[in-house]
Protein backbone atom coordinates (compact mmCIF):
# COMPACT_ATOMS: atom_id res chain seq x y z
CA UNK A 1 0.00 0.00 0.00
CA UNK A 2 1.36 3.40 -0.96
CA UNK A 3 2.24 5.66 1.97
CA UNK A 4 1.54 9.37 2.01
CA UNK A 5 4.66 11.51 1.55
CA UNK A 6 5.99 13.44 4.52
CA UNK A 7 5.65 16.57 2.40
CA UNK A 8 1.93 15.95 2.22
CA UNK A 9 1.00 15.55 5.84
CA UNK A 10 -0.39 18.11 8.22
CA UNK A 11 2.70 17.66 10.36
CA UNK A 12 0.74 17.08 13.56
CA UNK A 13 0.75 13.40 14.60
CA UNK A 14 -2.68 13.56 16.23
CA UNK A 15 -4.39 15.07 13.16
CA UNK A 16 -2.44 12.90 10.70
CA UNK A 17 -3.39 9.85 12.74
CA UNK A 18 -7.08 10.74 12.67
CA UNK A 19 -6.95 11.25 8.90
CA UNK A 20 -5.23 7.88 8.38
CA UNK A 21 -7.73 6.12 10.63
CA UNK A 22 -10.71 7.68 8.85
CA UNK A 23 -9.31 6.76 5.44
CA UNK A 24 -8.65 3.17 6.53
CA UNK A 25 -12.16 2.76 7.93
CA UNK A 26 -13.75 4.28 4.82
CA UNK A 27 -12.05 2.34 2.02
CA UNK A 28 -9.29 -0.24 1.65
CA UNK A 29 -6.82 -1.23 -1.01
CA UNK A 30 -4.79 0.75 -3.52
CA UNK A 31 -6.94 3.90 -3.31
CA UNK A 32 -6.70 4.39 0.45
CA UNK A 33 -3.68 6.68 0.14
CA UNK A 34 -5.60 8.91 -2.31
CA UNK A 35 -8.42 9.39 0.19
CA UNK A 36 -5.82 10.30 2.85
CA UNK A 37 -4.42 12.95 0.51
CA UNK A 38 -7.89 14.32 -0.25
CA UNK A 39 -8.67 14.58 3.46
CA UNK A 40 -5.29 16.17 4.12
CA UNK A 41 -5.95 18.70 1.36
CA UNK A 42 -9.31 19.58 2.91
CA UNK A 43 -7.74 20.20 6.32
CA UNK A 44 -4.91 22.27 4.80
CA UNK A 45 -7.42 24.33 2.83
CA UNK A 46 -9.54 24.95 5.91
CA UNK A 47 -6.52 26.17 7.85
CA UNK A 48 -4.72 28.12 5.14
CA UNK A 49 -7.61 29.96 3.49
CA UNK A 50 -9.37 32.63 5.47
CA UNK A 51 -11.96 33.10 2.73
CA UNK A 52 -15.29 31.35 3.26
CA UNK A 53 -15.91 31.69 -0.49
CA UNK A 54 -12.88 29.49 -1.26
CA UNK A 55 -14.24 26.74 0.96
CA UNK A 56 -17.73 27.01 -0.52
CA UNK A 57 -16.34 26.74 -4.05
CA UNK A 58 -14.26 23.63 -3.28
CA UNK A 59 -17.14 22.09 -1.36
CA UNK A 60 -19.57 22.59 -4.26
CA UNK A 61 -17.06 21.34 -6.83
CA UNK A 62 -16.40 18.12 -4.90
CA UNK A 63 -20.13 17.52 -4.46
CA UNK A 64 -20.77 17.99 -8.19
CA UNK A 65 -17.90 15.74 -9.23
CA UNK A 66 -18.79 13.03 -6.71
CA UNK A 67 -22.35 12.82 -7.95
CA UNK A 68 -21.34 12.89 -11.63
CA UNK A 69 -18.85 10.05 -11.10
CA UNK A 70 -21.57 8.06 -9.34
CA UNK A 71 -24.01 8.53 -12.25
CA UNK A 72 -21.49 7.58 -14.97
CA UNK A 73 -19.71 4.78 -13.11
CA UNK A 74 -22.03 1.93 -14.25
CA UNK A 75 -21.59 2.96 -17.91
CA UNK A 76 -17.81 3.43 -18.14
CA UNK A 77 -17.42 0.56 -20.62
CA UNK A 78 -19.98 2.02 -23.05
CA UNK A 79 -18.74 4.47 -25.68
CA UNK A 80 -20.42 7.88 -25.42
CA UNK A 81 -20.74 10.84 -27.78
CA UNK A 82 -21.17 14.40 -26.56
CA UNK A 83 -23.42 16.63 -28.68
CA UNK A 84 -22.83 20.40 -28.55
CA UNK A 85 -24.92 23.03 -30.32
CA UNK A 86 -27.17 26.04 -29.94
CA UNK A 87 -29.79 26.14 -27.21
CA UNK A 88 -31.77 28.50 -29.46
CA UNK A 89 -32.21 26.26 -32.51
CA UNK A 90 -35.88 25.83 -33.40
CA UNK A 91 -37.43 22.37 -33.74
CA UNK A 92 -37.90 23.11 -37.45
CA UNK A 93 -34.24 24.04 -38.03
CA UNK A 94 -31.93 21.88 -40.12
CA UNK A 95 -29.44 21.44 -37.29
CA UNK A 96 -32.18 20.28 -34.86
CA UNK A 97 -33.41 17.63 -37.29
CA UNK A 98 -29.85 16.57 -38.10
CA UNK A 99 -28.92 16.24 -34.41
CA UNK A 100 -32.04 14.15 -33.73
CA UNK A 101 -31.23 11.75 -36.58
CA UNK A 102 -27.55 11.61 -35.61
CA UNK A 103 -28.40 10.72 -32.01
CA UNK A 104 -30.89 8.05 -33.07
CA UNK A 105 -28.44 6.31 -35.39
CA UNK A 106 -25.59 6.42 -32.88
CA UNK A 107 -27.66 4.80 -30.13
CA UNK A 108 -28.79 2.14 -32.61
CA UNK A 109 -25.08 1.35 -33.02
CA UNK A 110 -24.61 0.92 -29.26
CA UNK A 111 -23.32 4.38 -28.32
CA UNK A 112 -24.78 6.51 -25.56
CA UNK A 113 -25.49 10.22 -25.95
CA UNK A 114 -24.47 13.05 -23.62
CA UNK A 115 -25.89 16.56 -24.03
CA UNK A 116 -26.03 19.79 -22.09
CA UNK A 117 -29.63 18.97 -21.21
CA UNK A 118 -31.14 22.20 -22.46
CA UNK A 119 -33.33 23.13 -25.45
CA UNK A 120 -32.36 23.42 -29.11
CA UNK A 121 -29.71 21.05 -30.44
CA UNK A 122 -29.25 19.56 -26.96
CA UNK A 123 -32.94 18.69 -26.83
CA UNK A 124 -32.70 17.11 -30.29
CA UNK A 125 -29.86 14.90 -29.05
CA UNK A 126 -31.92 13.60 -26.14
CA UNK A 127 -35.05 13.28 -28.26
CA UNK A 128 -33.33 11.14 -30.88
CA UNK A 129 -31.63 8.77 -28.44
CA UNK A 130 -33.11 5.36 -27.72
CA UNK A 131 -34.72 5.04 -24.29
CA UNK A 132 -32.19 4.90 -21.46
CA UNK A 133 -29.26 5.68 -23.76
CA UNK A 134 -28.67 9.34 -22.92
CA UNK A 135 -27.48 11.71 -20.22
CA UNK A 136 -28.01 15.43 -19.63
CA UNK A 137 -25.46 17.67 -17.93
CA UNK A 138 -27.54 20.73 -17.21
CA UNK A 139 -26.09 24.09 -16.16
CA UNK A 140 -28.06 26.24 -13.73
CA UNK A 141 -28.59 29.66 -15.34
CA UNK A 142 -30.90 32.54 -14.39
CA UNK A 143 -32.29 32.41 -17.95
CA UNK A 144 -32.67 30.13 -20.95
CA UNK A 145 -31.42 26.82 -19.58
CA UNK A 146 -33.68 24.22 -18.00
CA UNK A 147 -33.73 20.45 -18.54
CA UNK A 148 -35.53 19.45 -21.72
CA UNK A 149 -38.43 16.95 -21.48
CA UNK A 150 -36.86 14.14 -23.53
CA UNK A 151 -34.88 12.34 -20.84
CA UNK A 152 -36.54 9.06 -19.92
CA UNK A 153 -34.47 8.42 -16.81
CA UNK A 154 -34.24 11.36 -14.42
CA UNK A 155 -31.29 9.76 -12.61
CA UNK A 156 -29.20 10.53 -15.72
CA UNK A 157 -29.73 14.29 -15.32
CA UNK A 158 -26.90 16.07 -13.53
CA UNK A 159 -27.27 19.74 -12.57
CA UNK A 160 -24.11 21.83 -12.38
CA UNK A 161 -23.45 25.20 -10.82
CA UNK A 162 -20.09 25.68 -12.53
CA UNK A 163 -19.28 25.52 -16.23
CA UNK A 164 -15.76 24.21 -15.57
CA UNK A 165 -16.89 21.13 -13.63
CA UNK A 166 -19.54 20.46 -16.27
CA UNK A 167 -16.94 20.69 -19.05
CA UNK A 168 -14.60 18.40 -17.13
CA UNK A 169 -17.29 15.70 -17.07
CA UNK A 170 -18.08 16.30 -20.75
CA UNK A 171 -14.46 15.47 -21.57
CA UNK A 172 -13.78 12.75 -19.01
CA UNK A 173 -16.89 10.67 -19.59
CA UNK A 174 -17.16 10.75 -23.39
CA UNK A 175 -15.26 9.23 -26.30
CA UNK A 176 -16.32 11.37 -29.28
CA UNK A 177 -17.52 14.92 -29.88
CA UNK A 178 -20.12 16.28 -32.30
CA UNK A 179 -20.47 20.02 -32.75
CA UNK A 180 -23.52 21.49 -34.46
CA UNK A 181 -23.93 25.20 -35.28
CA UNK A 182 -24.16 27.31 -32.15
CA UNK A 183 -23.12 30.43 -30.30
CA UNK A 184 -20.33 31.41 -27.93
CA UNK A 185 -20.88 28.35 -25.74
CA UNK A 186 -20.63 25.90 -28.63
CA UNK A 187 -17.45 27.55 -29.93
CA UNK A 188 -15.99 27.64 -26.43
CA UNK A 189 -16.65 23.92 -25.98
CA UNK A 190 -15.27 23.11 -29.41
CA UNK A 191 -12.08 25.13 -29.04
CA UNK A 192 -11.47 23.74 -25.55
CA UNK A 193 -11.89 20.17 -26.79
CA UNK A 194 -9.43 20.83 -29.63
CA UNK A 195 -6.96 22.49 -27.25
CA UNK A 196 -7.06 19.60 -24.79
CA UNK A 197 -6.29 17.06 -27.50
CA UNK A 198 -3.71 19.29 -29.22
CA UNK A 199 -1.80 19.60 -25.93
CA UNK A 200 -2.18 15.97 -24.86
CA UNK A 201 -4.39 16.81 -21.89
CA UNK A 202 -7.16 14.65 -23.30
CA UNK A 203 -7.03 11.36 -25.17
CA UNK A 204 -7.39 11.36 -28.97
CA UNK A 205 -11.00 11.19 -30.09
CA UNK A 206 -13.10 11.77 -33.20
CA UNK A 207 -14.42 15.34 -33.41
CA UNK A 208 -17.07 15.95 -36.07
CA UNK A 209 -18.34 19.39 -37.04
CA UNK A 210 -21.84 18.72 -38.33
CA UNK A 211 -22.90 21.08 -41.11
CA UNK A 212 -26.52 20.70 -42.31
CA UNK A 213 -27.35 20.91 -46.00
CA UNK A 214 -27.38 24.53 -47.16
CA UNK A 215 -25.33 25.75 -44.18
CA UNK A 216 -21.80 27.17 -44.39
CA UNK A 217 -21.40 27.55 -40.61
CA UNK A 218 -18.37 25.28 -40.16
CA UNK A 219 -17.01 25.98 -43.65
CA UNK A 220 -16.83 29.66 -42.73
CA UNK A 221 -15.27 28.77 -39.38
CA UNK A 222 -12.69 26.61 -41.19
CA UNK A 223 -11.87 29.57 -43.50
CA UNK A 224 -11.04 31.63 -40.41
CA UNK A 225 -8.90 28.79 -39.02
CA UNK A 226 -7.04 28.43 -42.34
CA UNK A 227 -6.48 32.12 -43.05
CA UNK A 228 -5.77 33.30 -39.51
CA UNK A 229 -4.61 30.44 -37.28
CA UNK A 230 -2.71 28.27 -39.78
CA UNK A 231 -1.44 31.05 -42.06
CA UNK A 232 -0.09 33.05 -39.11
CA UNK A 233 1.56 30.00 -37.56
CA UNK A 234 -0.64 29.96 -34.47
CA UNK A 235 -1.41 26.28 -35.08
CA UNK A 236 0.20 23.65 -37.32
CA UNK A 237 -1.46 22.55 -40.53
CA UNK A 238 -1.46 19.01 -39.08
CA UNK A 239 -3.71 20.22 -36.25
CA UNK A 240 -6.52 20.33 -38.81
CA UNK A 241 -6.52 16.52 -38.56
CA UNK A 242 -8.03 16.84 -35.07
CA UNK A 243 -11.48 17.45 -36.59
CA UNK A 244 -13.63 16.79 -39.65
CA UNK A 245 -16.43 18.83 -41.17
CA UNK A 246 -19.16 16.39 -42.17
CA UNK A 247 -22.46 17.13 -43.93
CA UNK A 248 -23.98 13.65 -43.79
CA UNK A 249 -25.24 11.83 -40.67
CA UNK A 250 -24.33 8.34 -41.88
CA UNK A 251 -20.81 9.47 -42.75
CA UNK A 252 -20.37 11.00 -39.28
CA UNK A 253 -21.64 7.87 -37.52
CA UNK A 254 -19.29 5.69 -39.58
CA UNK A 255 -16.30 7.94 -38.84
CA UNK A 256 -16.95 7.70 -35.08
CA UNK A 257 -17.46 3.93 -35.30
CA UNK A 258 -14.31 3.45 -37.39
CA UNK A 259 -12.16 5.50 -35.01
CA UNK A 260 -12.48 2.64 -32.51
CA UNK A 261 -12.40 -0.16 -35.09
CA UNK A 262 -8.80 -1.15 -34.28
CA UNK A 263 -7.66 1.60 -31.89
CA UNK A 264 -8.97 1.09 -28.36
CA UNK A 265 -7.28 3.56 -26.01
CA UNK A 266 -4.03 5.29 -25.11
CA UNK A 267 -1.86 5.23 -22.03
CA UNK A 268 1.31 7.12 -21.12
CA UNK A 269 3.57 4.92 -18.98
CA UNK A 270 7.11 5.68 -17.80
CA UNK A 271 8.02 7.77 -20.84
CA UNK A 272 6.32 5.44 -23.32
CA UNK A 273 3.13 6.07 -25.26
CA UNK A 274 1.13 2.86 -25.44
CA UNK A 275 -1.73 2.36 -27.91
CA UNK A 276 -4.08 -0.45 -26.88
CA UNK A 277 -5.70 -2.12 -29.89
CA UNK A 278 -8.83 -4.20 -30.40
CA UNK A 279 -6.86 -6.53 -32.67
CA UNK A 280 -3.31 -6.98 -33.94
CA UNK A 281 -2.23 -5.04 -37.00
CA UNK A 282 -0.40 -6.62 -39.91
CA UNK A 283 3.35 -6.40 -40.37
CA UNK A 284 2.67 -4.41 -43.53
CA UNK A 285 0.68 -1.80 -41.59
CA UNK A 286 3.35 -1.67 -38.89
CA UNK A 287 6.07 -1.07 -41.48
CA UNK A 288 3.95 1.62 -43.15
CA UNK A 289 3.27 3.63 -39.97
CA UNK A 290 6.93 3.42 -38.96
CA UNK A 291 7.89 4.91 -42.30
CA UNK A 292 5.09 7.48 -42.58
CA UNK A 293 5.04 8.69 -38.97
CA UNK A 294 8.68 8.53 -37.91
CA UNK A 295 8.58 12.33 -37.57
CA UNK A 296 6.43 12.05 -34.42
CA UNK A 297 8.94 9.84 -32.60
CA UNK A 298 11.54 11.25 -30.23
CA UNK A 299 13.59 8.10 -30.80
CA UNK A 300 13.29 4.45 -31.76
CA UNK A 301 10.43 2.78 -33.62
CA UNK A 302 6.78 1.90 -33.15
CA UNK A 303 6.73 -1.73 -32.05
CA UNK A 304 4.35 -4.36 -30.68
CA UNK A 305 4.40 -4.50 -26.89
CA UNK A 306 3.18 -6.53 -23.95
CA UNK A 307 1.35 -4.78 -21.09
CA UNK A 308 3.70 -2.62 -19.05
CA UNK A 309 4.38 -3.43 -15.41
CA UNK A 310 2.15 -0.59 -14.28
CA UNK A 311 -0.70 -1.79 -16.50
CA UNK A 312 -0.32 -5.30 -15.09
CA UNK A 313 -0.46 -3.93 -11.54
CA UNK A 314 -3.64 -2.01 -12.37
CA UNK A 315 -5.18 -4.81 -14.47
CA UNK A 316 -5.81 -2.52 -17.45
CA UNK A 317 -7.01 -4.32 -20.60
CA UNK A 318 -4.34 -6.99 -20.27
CA UNK A 319 -5.81 -9.11 -23.08
CA UNK A 320 -5.43 -6.39 -25.72
CA UNK A 321 -2.49 -6.18 -28.16
CA UNK A 322 -0.40 -3.04 -27.93
CA UNK A 323 1.92 -0.72 -29.81
CA UNK A 324 4.56 1.19 -27.86
CA UNK A 325 6.57 4.19 -28.99
CA UNK A 326 8.61 7.10 -27.75
CA UNK A 327 6.14 9.74 -28.96
CA UNK A 328 7.39 13.32 -28.98
CA UNK A 329 4.30 14.44 -27.00
CA UNK A 330 3.82 17.33 -29.38
CA UNK A 331 2.35 16.29 -32.73
CA UNK A 332 -1.11 15.14 -31.69
CA UNK A 333 -2.64 16.00 -35.04
CA UNK A 334 -0.23 13.57 -36.67
CA UNK A 335 -0.98 11.01 -33.94
CA UNK A 336 -4.67 11.19 -34.84
CA UNK A 337 -3.71 10.71 -38.51
CA UNK A 338 -1.77 7.59 -37.51
CA UNK A 339 -4.72 6.20 -35.55
CA UNK A 340 -6.89 6.58 -38.66
CA UNK A 341 -4.29 4.69 -40.72
CA UNK A 342 -4.21 1.91 -38.12
CA UNK A 343 -8.00 1.70 -38.22
CA UNK A 344 -8.00 1.39 -42.02
CA UNK A 345 -5.22 -1.21 -42.17
Question: pLDDT digit string (tens) for 157-190?
Answer: 999 999 999 999 999 999 999 999 999 999 999 9
Average pLDDT over the chain reads 95
* pLDDT, position 282: 97
Distant-in-sequence, close-in-space partners of 188: CB < 8 Å, separation ≥ 6: none
As a whole number, mean pLDDT of residues 204-224 equals 98
- CA–CA separation, 118 vs 335, rounded Å? 34
- pLDDT above 70 (res 99): yes
Other Cβ atoms closer than 10 A to 193: 23
Q: Does domain 74-259 have CATH number 3.40.50.450?
A: yes
Predicted pLDDT of residue 144: 55
278-318 pLDDT, tens digit per residue, is 999 999 999 999 999 999 999 999 999 999 998 998 888 99
pTM: 0.94
> Cα 185–188–194 angle (5° rounding)?
140
Residue 275: strand pairing partners: 266, 323
Listed by start position, the domains of the chain span: 6-73, 74-259, 263-344
DSSP states of 236-269: -GGGGGG-EEE--HHHHHHHHHHHTTSEEEEEEE
Amino acid sequence: MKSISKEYEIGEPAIDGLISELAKKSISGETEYLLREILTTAVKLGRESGDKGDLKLVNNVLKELRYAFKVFSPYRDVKKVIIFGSARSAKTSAEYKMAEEFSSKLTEKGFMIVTGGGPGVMEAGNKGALAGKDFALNIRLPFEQKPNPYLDEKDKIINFKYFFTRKLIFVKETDATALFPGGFGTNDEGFEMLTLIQTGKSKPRPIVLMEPKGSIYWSAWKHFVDTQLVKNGFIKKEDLSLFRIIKNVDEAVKYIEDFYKVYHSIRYVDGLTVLRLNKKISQQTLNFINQKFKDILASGEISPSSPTEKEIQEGEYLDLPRLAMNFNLRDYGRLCEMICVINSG
